[in-house]
Amino acid sequence: MSKSTIKTETAVIATREEMAELAGDIAALQNELNALTTQKNVELDRVNQHYAKRLENLDVLIKAKMKLALDWCTRNEASEFRDWRTIDFQRATVQFRRGNWEVQLRSNWKVIDVLKALKSFLLPGKPAGTRWVRSVEEINKEMIIQERATLTAEEWHALGIKIVRGKSVIIEGKGDPVESKTREAA
C-alpha cells in the first residue's frame, strides 16, 4: 500500500469488541513494521560491512594527509597566504583559517579540579578567579514536580507554571511476529 492510498479513520470506537478489533489491527501492523525494519537493518548491516574497511582506510589516510597539510600551512602562513587565506592549486584549493580561541582542560585535569583552582586563584588586588566561574540559575523542575501538591493550579499559573502529565496508549501484539508475513503472502 503506498503512502497516498492510506486513509485515516475518524470514527469513534464505541464498543469493547470494536476496540479488540482495532488493537488486533494495530498489533498486526506493528508486527509487519518490525519485520520490515529487521529486514532493512540486516541489509544495511551487510552493506555497511562491505564498505567499512575501505572507508576506514580512506579516513585514516585523509586524516594523516590533512595533518601534513595543516603543518605546512602553519609554517608558511605569512609567506603563502598573506591576506587571501586561499591558494588555488591545479587539483585542489587550500583554505587556511585560524579558528576562534577556545579553552580546553589539560590532560588529567577534571572540571571539579579546574573549578577549585580558579576559585582559589587571586591576582594581586583582583579576585580574578571568581570571574572565570559561572553560576547558572535555572528552574528546579524536579523539585516542583515533587512538591506540586503544595500549591493550587491557580497559584502555579500565577507563577507562570503549569504542571501536566502526558497520556499514551501502548498496544502489544500477542501473536507470532511471522503472522504478518503469512497474511501478506495470502
Give the mean pLDDT per block of 10 residues along the chain (186 residues).
Answer: 57 92 94 96 97 97 94 89 83 88 90 85 64 83 92 91 85 64 46
Co-location of 145 and 112 in the same domain: yes
Nine-digit cell string for 64: 594523516
Which three-class secondary structure state does DSSP give residue 122? coil
Co-location of 95 and 131 in the same domain: no
Predicted local distance difference test score (pLDDT) of residue 162: 93
Co-location of 38 and 108 in the same domain: no
Predicted local distance difference test score (pLDDT) of residue 58: 97
Co-location of 40 and 88 in the same domain: yes
Residues 7, 13, 16, CA angle at the centre, nearest 5°? Answer: 135
Paired with 94 in beta bridges are 87
| Domain limits for position 18 | 14-100
Co-location of 18 and 94 in the same domain: yes
Which three-class secondary structure state does DSSP give residue 41? helix
The CA distance from 115 to 135, in Å, is 11
How much is the pTM? 0.50
Structural domains counted in the chain: 2
